[in-house]
Amino acid sequence: MTTQSPSVNLTLLRLLADAQFHSGEWLAQQSGRTRSAIWKQIQTLNALPGIQIDAVTGRGYRLHEPLTLLDADKILSYLQDDNRHRLTQCHVLAATTSTNAIAADQPPDLLRGNAWFAEYQTAGRGRRGRQWLGGFAQNLPFSLAYQFDLPMAQLTGLSIAVSTVILQILHQQGAQCIGLKWPNDLITENGKLAGILVEVNGETTGPSTAIIGVGLNLKADSTITNSVDQPTTYLQALGGGTERNQIAGLLLDGLLQLCADYPRHGLQPYLPVWRQYDQYRGKPVALIGPNQTLCGIQIGLADDGGIQLDIDGEIKTYYSGELSLRLAMS
């Protein structure tokens, strides 16, 4: 299923995606619009971050760089059969506020195994109210809504498991130098590669619905660099595959398998990998919370997904907040 924002003409973008010159007449014929309408839509598309369409008299229009648009059928082609059956529907949005917000606004029957991918987010959300922004069709924001027959308390470690699964998939795609930062960031020595936002709602005794939001930087994008308050990196720079539909399909497949396995095995199978790639273990850190900042040495991940800090010789476990090396070192 593809949902198109009225302000983004995906048909026209697909015609221009090869970055070759196409005449206004040909574009009008192919899209069933007038040449005047094509010109107006070109102006609208040029206003999108990450989109640059050149116009040359006598040659027509072309995208400055080739563009790979998301395609639900291509994404689904990477799913194993069992996981394909676990997914009710795959939605591809041209533009939206945020995929997590769209998922949260859906009726209950669409929160049992639906995924939302977006070419562009105007208000992508991260932890602690941060925004995650990117150029049109440059990166990979998506959300998976899945219903568990579990009480909410048993899903507290889900974000740890999600980050571990994504790490392993990206390693398999050739990006080896990625580590983990508690609770759910994928990082390298050059900056943040991906963030995860898991929002859980439900009954105390179950069932519970988790909306798993992922924002992955695929290629160099000044829009991201200018909109966040920390260094960022991207998969292309790490030697990983960057074909958006392939990465989208592999990540969706991995997360659907995780959702199937988690009720049976919980967090335990994911702990060894997470601990292996924990980038802050043994380092001085600051744990930033809403009301206070605690400084200590990170000891590692507790069995239930909390983070353990050695503060003046006393080891305590915490379940909320954000770790920072910069504040600890300042």
Catalytic residue among 125, 181, 192, 281: 192
- In the chain, what's the furthest Cα-to-Cα distance? 74
In this prediction, residue 107 carries a pLDDT of 87
Using one digit for the tens of pLDDT, what is the confidence trace for 42-84? 999 998 888 999 999 999 999 998 999 999 999 999 999 999 9
In this prediction, residue 291 carries a pLDDT of 86
Q: Report residue 163 as tokens.
A: 């980050």
Using one digit for the tens of pLDDT, what is the confidence trace for 235-286? 988 887 778 999 999 999 999 999 999 999 999 999 999 999 999 999 999 9
In this prediction, residue 5 carries a pLDDT of 43
Using one digit for the tens of pLDDT, what is the confidence trace for 139-156? 999 999 999 999 999 999
pLDDT band for position 328 (cuts 50, 70, 90): low
Mean pLDDT of 298-310: 96
Q: Exposed, middle or buried, 218 (CB in 10 Å: 0-12/13-18/19+)?
A: buried
Q: Report residue 298 as tokens.
A: 């990170």
Mean pLDDT of 156-185: 94
Residue 192 is among the residues annotated as catalytic for this protein: yes
In this prediction, residue 97 carries a pLDDT of 87
SS3 176: coil
In this prediction, residue 41 carries a pLDDT of 92
How high does pLDDT run on average in the chain?
Answer: 89
Residue 275 is among the residues annotated as catalytic for this protein: no
In this prediction, residue 232 carries a pLDDT of 86
Q: Has residue 10 got a pLDDT over 90?
A: no
Residue 281 is among the residues annotated as catalytic for this protein: no
**Of 188, 186, 208, the residue nearest 199 (C-alpha):** 208
Q: Report residue 142 as tokens.
A: 């998506």
Q: Report residue 101 as tokens.
A: 């917000």
Catalytic residue among 127, 130, 219, 316: 127
**Of 69, 124, 120, the residue nearest 95 (C-alpha):** 120
Mean pLDDT of 189-210: 91
**11-25, 28-42, 212-226: which has the minimum mean pLDDT?**
212-226
In this prediction, residue 203 carries a pLDDT of 84
Using one digit for the tens of pLDDT, what is the confidence trace for 221-248? 655 554 455 788 989 888 877 789 999 9
Q: Which domains does the chain have, with CATH numbers?
A: 2-63 (1.10.10.10), 72-275 (3.30.930.10), 280-329 (2.30.30.100)
In this prediction, residue 207 carries a pLDDT of 92
* Cβ contacts of 51 within 8 Å, gap of 6 or more: 13, 45, 63, 67, 135, 136, 137
**5-19, 77-91, 189-203: which has the minimum mean pLDDT?**
5-19
* Cβ contacts of 90 within 8 Å, gap of 6 or more: 1, 72, 75, 76, 114, 115, 117, 252
**Around Cβ 264, how many Cβ atoms within 10 Å?**
7
Alpha helices in the chain (DSSP H): 10-16, 24-31, 35-46, 72-76, 81-86, 99-104, 158-172, 222-227, 244-265, 271-276, 325-329
Mean pLDDT of 73-97: 95
